[in-house]
Amino acid sequence: MSRLLRGSRTATVMAAAGGAALCAAVPAALSGAAATSWWFIAPATVLAAVAGTLAPVLLAALQRGWERAEARDLVLMQDCVVSPAGQLPFVREATDPILLGVHPARDADEAGLWGASEVEGPPRNRDGPRVPPYVPRDVHHRVVELVAAGGFVLLIGESTAGKSRLAYEVMRATLPDHVLVAPLSRTALAAAVDRASRLARCVLWLDDVERFLGPEGLSRSGIGRLTSGGGHHRVILGTLRSSEMTRYMSHPHTRPADDTAPSEAREALEQATQIRLARLFTTDECERAHTRVWDSRIADALARAGEYGIAEYLAAGPELLGDWHDAWDVGNHPRAAALISAAVDCRRAGLTRPLSRRLLTALHDAYLEERGGARLRPEPHEDAWEWATHQRRATTALLTPVEGPEPAGSVNVFDYLVDVSQLQTAPAKRVPDRVFTAALAHADGNEAARLASTAHDYGLYAIAARAYDRAVQEYRSRLGATHPKALISQSNLAMLLRKLGRLEEAEHCARTAFQGMREVLGSDHSETLTAANHHATCLFELGYLEQAEAAHRSVLDARLRVMGAEHPNTLASRADLALVLCQLGSLDEAEAQHRIALDTRTRLMGPEHPDTLSSRGSFAGLLRRLGRLAEAEREHAAVLEARRRTLGDEHPKTLTSRANRASLLRRLGRWEEAEREHTVVLETRRRILGDEHPKTLTSRNNVALVLRDRGLFEQAAREQRAVLRMRIRALGPEHPKTRISRRHLAATLECLERGGGPG
């Protein structure tokens, strides 16, 4: 195609120079070049027809169009599965499923596969096939129907569940004469969509769809371009691991209200017909597998079908996981194990592109030290890389080298290891801070947003803010300051700045993002309303209570109208409004809003969903204001226990729950216990957030109140003076928290003067 374009361009340029001869020269050139596509002929014909004074202008435009077409074609051919002739293949020519992402299988037992003469089967290749015979899944015929109908079909399941093999077999059996467009990375997706949109019959193959989401990636408009209209049969056939689906597309009734996953990715995935594929085979699927036991790999997998999925076992997932774990043994391959651990955590943090050798080398030392360092007798670096990238059991390597435009030595990690690690959700098993910091330097705008979302979930607000700032800057430089992606990232950045206590900066960031989205997306767009809610919360924390109330009511009214009463964002608006009403003293309405949010969240999401726990904590605060102290303390204790278990002791939300409960203990007269709890929270917040963060100052003020209760007035007054000075500097003299500090200090000084009890 590139040669065709170059030849045709030369012919047309020469024809244009001929002036009056252009009308004859261009068609001849086009005919000689075999150019028949309308997108090529039409511009050249127009040029020929107006070969007078407009010819140079149109020729320049045509020249630029040719250059863009050549560039797209070059990208497509360099970063796409092609036929031996270097062209896009037909589906029937795609005879190697491994090239399309199917996991190769373990080595077959030679005696079982080739030596059992009494077992009949298909003709045998002495080299042994790298994939075993296909076992049809229960959903096979349903997928056939969907693919035959056209559109976007997405298979979802755990790593090694058999998604890619099912998609491959259905595609080969159903659409053999379609052109196969299989880009290898997001870099080539735009060119792939462009080419596919000009084909009447094609399959756009997207194995591991998460690799194709983001800037210039799979979008709602691109999907519509391929699937809408008539006169064609185009299929987008993709696979997605369950963990990635959860990241982008958790159910609207279980997605946290402050979810920061990129909305354009969710919108793209919502266009697909989704088919779930279980890891473990059903009874019917196992019976079908029994007809293929002439392949010893199938027979071995069936023997373990109660513990592992057949596809999982065939891909040697459990064994490769064991190899990784065993590599940590002293004198084995601990350095390789550390490299693999670094790669797994980079994936879990949000990086989707191939991982550079430089990045993993820089990260792996910390993993080694955590497991024993020199006592493990780690092998030399080159030995570690050779072991980690060595193909095992004829299936795959733990780290697979990647060829192409990526930096030399880049690798992909076996996704089975990522999924297994991600299932270990205890706080101690989460991705370390250092991984986010290192990965951010290697991330594009989309990956920076993914890193920010994960860091936010872990409570790493400073890292999340840096990641969102990186995303904002990249989107602005490439797409413009008013592009929705830049504005959405800016709005999310404002949320993080607020949580970091940078309130004035957060308010300005949220306000400008909200105003920009209102102009670009409209007032009722979900992202516009999210930005408006972020801005309203900034106003609340800055102490502008009346403005915050009006803003939250406006967002709530819009969300009720657009999203409905039970949407998580609508419930979040109720909860946010209730907090403002509580501060304004409108306790009856605050209680009504809190009850609606809490009851609905409990019913739809369960009692320990993050949103439900937030509602329970806020409602407990209201109970305290109403004087129902024992009831409030029980609620705070329940929320604290759940957050400790699911988030860990040092997550910001856990610390908030611990501080709230300690305040109730103080009100109940359990001063020693309250002081101990407040002191732990203060020390942790100082270490994580710094001395002048608003929450650190709140903890310091809480400790001072307990000191005053215990009659230690001088110590209490000293702490309260320091808090007041810092609040005046950080929040201003009229902020509600500054006024509270003044009242607390005045009461302590009064106690100090009279030498009496608490004020």
- Name the more confident of 406 and 176: 176
- At 20 the pLDDT is 42
Find the length of the chain: 759
pLDDT of residue 23: 43
Structure confidence at residue 69 (pLDDT):
52
Is the per-residue pLDDT at 91 higher than 80?
Answer: yes
List pLDDT tens digits, range 670-716: 999 999 999 999 999 998 888 888 889 999 999 999 999 999 999 99
Over residues 360-395, the pLDDT tens digits come to 999 999 999 999 999 999 999 999 999 999 887 656
**Angstrom distance (rounded) from CA 328 to CA 334:** 4
Residue closest to 437 by CA, chosen among 462, 457, 413: 462
> Rounded distance, CA 536 to CA 39, Å?
50
Query: Once rounded to an integer, what is the mean pLDDT over residues 151-158?
Result: 94
Per cent of the chain over pLDDT 90 is 52
What local confidence, expressed as pLDDT, does residue 125 receive? 36
Measured in Å, how far apart are the chain's first and last C-alpha atoms? 85
Q: What domains can be seen in the chain, in order of their start residue?
A: 2-78 (no CATH), 91-112+131-313 (3.40.50.300), 334-434 (no CATH), 676-759 (1.25.40.10)
- Mean pLDDT within 396-406: 79
Q: What is the pLDDT of residues 188-230, one digit of tens each?
A: 888 999 999 999 999 999 999 988 886 667 888 899 999 998 8
Residue 628 DSSP class = -
Which pLDDT band, with edges at 50, 70 and 90, does 248 fall under? confident
Distance in angstroms (rounded) separating the CA atoms of residues 97 and 163:
12
Give the tokens for residue 187. 């870099």
The confidence score (pLDDT) of residue 72 equals 56
Give the contacts of 311 (CB within 8 A, at least 6 positions apart).
103, 160, 161, 162, 165, 279
Rounded percentage of the chain residues whose pLDDT exceeds 70: 82
pLDDT in tens, 238-247: 999 888 887 7
User: What's the whole-model pTM score?
Assistant: 0.67
601-619 mean pLDDT = 91
Confidence of residue 582 (pLDDT cuts 50, 70, 90): very high
Q: Which two tokens stand for residue 451?
A: 């890193």
Give the separation between CA 162 and CA 158, rounded to whole angstroms.
9
pLDDT over threshold 80, residue 139 = yes
